[in-house]
Amino acid sequence: MMEIGESIEEKAKREVFEEVGIELKDIRFFKVYSGKEFYYKYPS
C-alpha cells in the first residue's frame, strides 16, 4: 500500500528493498497502460 504523499517511484524503491534487499538508486516512471482501451471482455 502506498504511504500518504509517496510517489510511484518511492513506492517501487521501497517494495524492491523490502522484498529482495536491493536499494534502487535511479528509477524513473515510464508509462501507465490503463483505461477502457486496454480492457477486453471475452465472450463466454
DSSP string for residues in the chain: -PPTT--HHHHHHHHHHHHH----S---------SGGG------
* Each residue's pLDDT tens digit, 14-34: 999 999 999 999 888 788 888
Q: Are 9 and 26 in contact (CB under 8 A)?
A: no
Q: Among positive and negative, which fits the CA dihedral 21, 22, 24, 29?
A: negative
Contacts of residue 39, defined as CB under 8 A and 6 or more positions apart, other chains included, come to: none
pTM value surpassing 0.85:
no
Q: Mean pLDDT across the chain, nearest whole number?
A: 89
